[in-house]
Chain A
Amino acid sequence: MERVMARQMTGAKMVVQALKDQGVDTIFGYPGGAVLPIYDEIFQQNDVRHILVRHEQAAVHMAEGYARSTGKPGCVLVTSGPGATNAVTGLTDALMDSIPLVVFSGQVPTFMIGTDGFQEADTVGITRPCTKHNWLVKETEKLAETIHQAFHVATSGRPGPVLIDIPKDVQFATGTYSAPKAARVDHYQPKVKGDLDAITKLVELIETAERPIFYTGGGVINSGTAASQLMCELVDATGFPITSTLMGLGAYPASGKNWLGMLGMHGLYEANLAMHGCDLMINLGARFDDRITGRVADFSPKSTKVHVDIDASSINKIVHVDLPIVGDVGHVLEDALKIWKSRGRKVNKEGLAKWWAKIEGWKKVNCLAYTNSEKTIKPQYALQRLEALTKGRDRYITTEVGQHQMWAAQFLGFDAPNRWMTSGGLGTMGYGFPASIGVQIAHPDALVINVAGEASWLMNMQEMGTATQFRTPVKQFILNNERLGMVRQWQQLLHGERYSHSWSESLPDFVKLAESFGWKGIRCDDPAKLDDAIMEMLNYDGPVLFDCLVEKHENCFPMIPSGKPHNEMLLAADAEAFKSGATLV
């Protein structure tokens, strides 16, 4: 009787109970009228920690940082109307980058829905295209099961954000709570095992290829650490070169001998030319994004293409592939390794030796070369020093969006998955700072650095208060070029040097700003003093705002102007000669 009674509870209590039962330890949120009953329940317990943000967009980015650095779903709680609309950018970001989130929003009571009530918004309507799935729960009786289903949907198959909209009367009313086990989830069970015939074909291709390459993406990381390990095993055992998208960095160690570096628009010369010239491309959990392919018609014209993806709609969406394998990367790799080993671990040694010789030639171009200076800090130099001074530490990096993001991807090396959090698909300025707080909340003792541009960083700077309040010692490493650098670069190269609104005017004094929030502020503009300044940041036990004043007009190279093929990439040296004519995408 006691137990039966215990299963009756209010909707608000169910939310907190379901979080506990789903193993959630942290939720990022901001209160308001339509979620007050849930906040009341949060107040009366200590199992789920609530992180009070300063803006709901930041709550979602924090949850993304939490999710990407742990592999667990991130949770968010926002109020109705403006709380929910503020979350939209974060939801879209998470959808594009396949990050599992469960977002709870309050809603006006069911009897007021449709009356343009105070703080009413059609939240499920607004978020339908920017969530993997969403629910408006109109009966308390269905709430618990819906929440458990939501966790299942967010984390199964291709992960993504989901939203549960809960009217206030549903939170107040009493209903029956059901445990996660009881939830019906059988109707959504994406296929994880790949077709064995197709995997055998993949193995045959591996055995004979002369110029193979692994092209890997965020799907490998989403598939879990076991998938990354299996991939490393296959790459090392075959001796094939490997490149990765921005999203996949860290799945194969940057210190590994087969690593070619990132590919794509600002990817490495050797990675892009190897993609262009390969005869076998093995795409693991990447999606042929336009920042990767360049002009599709000229994309890797001579290769047989294999695509392993858990999302069938990613296959043949942009590039038609020869061998599609729908399944989870980890499962497919496990089968592929088993079959390849059982057939005698064959590869085309002669062909591979020639292929590597060619790749070594491309590497000699030294595509990341830049002209250093003794007077001003070059952004590339700043990142090289940051890399050198943090080597060997358990380091998590987030970024904002712009030139600094691409330089970070080029100059920082990642030796493990879940250590690199950046907004890839949506390219959301303002992502990195809150994401770094989310990462730090999940890993309180780790070194968490946000490599930022000054313009992006200002977009969510209100979160300084959150970092202070929750004692997250995040390091904000701002490469301050006083420019919307990436925009300025495009204007220089493609718009006749007409710098329309691409400079950062009226910037704050970052050191004073830091101090006003109880942070440490550091400014450095001298290459000779940079190492000491970085060490000061690393050694400080608390949040640091590092204003690194860098060269204002540095450009990020290599660059494939959009709409151009891989083999027409621009190196720093050819940039002078570059006359526009690229498509403006």
Chain B
Amino acid sequence: MAALNIKKGSTSHSAYDLRDFHSEVERSHTLAVLVDNEAGVLARVIGLFSGRGYNIDSLTVAEVDHKGHRSRITIVTRGTVAVIDQIKAQLGRIVPVHQVIDLTTESTPVERELALFKVAGTGDKRVEALRLADIFRANVVDSTLESFVFEITGTPEKIDAFAELMRPLGLSDVARTGVAALPRGI
């Protein structure tokens, strides 16, 4: 057994895997799941997460290949190394799932989210909202004399930060799309 470099004991590392499988540290992972766009496929994925007690922080889904009827589900989830491995294996078992890609491996993926913010206010607050929107490169997509709707894209953190700033300025409604993600490079 020494030749294989496998330490004895059930807590030993796998011969192939040098990650700390028993680590209790939870980490956020972005998973892309390519599926056949058939009835019920989203329910299967969501049912897996609720049935087995996994977290979903964000979920987006849309058809990405109309001819091939393929959809891409992007899920942001949290878990230990062991849990994330289980989630990926369980997703891979669903019959209409073609591929499960973990975008959070060595590097972080490119992640973008789109959000709409309705901010109601007049006077100084209105001016300040407009000024901050400019800094965040948010566009005004609707305006009345008492309100704006801003459109903003960016990382979820950027959108969170914008929301924090808008709150005291009359933020009344938020709609977010959830994360779309792709790995960096080729």
A-B contact count (CB 8 A): 82
For B25, list chain A residues within 8 Å (CB). none
Q: Taking CB as reference atom, which chain B residue is nearest A300?
A: B10
Question: In the complex the two chains form, is B12's CB within 8 Å of A322's CB?
Answer: yes
Segment touching B, from A123-131, A461-469, A507-515: A123-131
- Residue A188 lies at the interface, judged by CB distance under 8 Å to chain B: yes
Residue from A129, A208, A312 in contact with B1 in the complex, judged by beta carbons closer than 8 Å:
A208
- B interface, how many residues as a size bin? 20 to 34
CA distance A224 to B43 in the complex (A): 33
Interface size on A, residues (CB 8 A): 38
What 0/1 pattern do residues 17 to 37 of B give for CB contact below 8 A with A? 000011000000000000010
Nearest B residue to A315 via CB reads B89
Which residues of A sit under 8 angstroms from B16, Cβ to Cβ? 324
With both chains docked as a complex, state the minimum distance between the C-beta of A555 and any C-beta of chain B, in angstroms: 31
The answer to whether A299 and B10 have CB atoms under 8 Å apart is yes
Within the assembled complex, what's the spacing in Å between the Cα atoms of A133 and B40?
Answer: 10
Do A303 and B89 form a contact, CB below 8 Å, given A124-B40, A322-B14, A322-B15? Answer: no
Q: Give the distance in Å from the alpha carbon of A311 to the alpha carbon of B94 in the complex.
A: 11
The answer to whether B10 and A305 touch across the interface, beta carbons within 8 angstroms, is yes
A324 CA to B13 CA in the complex, in Å? 12
- Cross-interface CB contact of A320 among B11, B43, B89, B96, cutoff 8 Å: B11
Contacts of A204 in B (CB 8 A): 3-4
A9 lies within 8 A of chain B by Cβ: no
Taking the nearest CB of chain B, how far is it from the CB of A289, in angstroms? Answer: 16
| Whole-angstrom distance between the Cβ of B85 and the nearest chain A Cβ | 6
Interface contact A322-B6, CB-CB below 8 Å: yes
Give bound CA distance, A289 to B92, whole Å: 21
B108 neighbours in A (Cβ, 8 Å):
none
Q: Is the CB of B10 within 8 A of A323?
A: no
Cβ contact within 8 Å between B95 and A133 = yes
Q: Chain B residues near A319: list those with CB within 8 A.
A: 10
A316 to B10, CA, bound (A): 11
A136 touches B86 (CB 8 A): no
Chain B: residues with CB nearer than 8 A to chain A? 1, 3-4, 6, 8-16, 21-22, 36, 39-40, 43-44, 47, 51, 82, 85-86, 89-90, 92-96, 98
Given A188-B95, A302-B9, A320-B82, 19 extra CB contacts under 8 A: A125-B43, A133-B94, A136-B39, A201-B15, A204-B4, A301-B10, A303-B8, A311-B93, A313-B90, A313-B93, A315-B89, A316-B82, A319-B10, A322-B6, A322-B14, A322-B15, A323-B6, A323-B14, A324-B14
Q: Name the 8 nearest CB pairs between A and B, nearest first.
A: A313-B89, A133-B95, A312-B89, A313-B90, A322-B6, A320-B21, A313-B93, A304-B6
Name A residues whose Cβ lies closer than 8 Å to a Cβ of B. 124-125, 128-129, 132-134, 136, 153, 158, 187-188, 201, 204-205, 208-209, 279-280, 299-305, 311-313, 315-317, 319-324
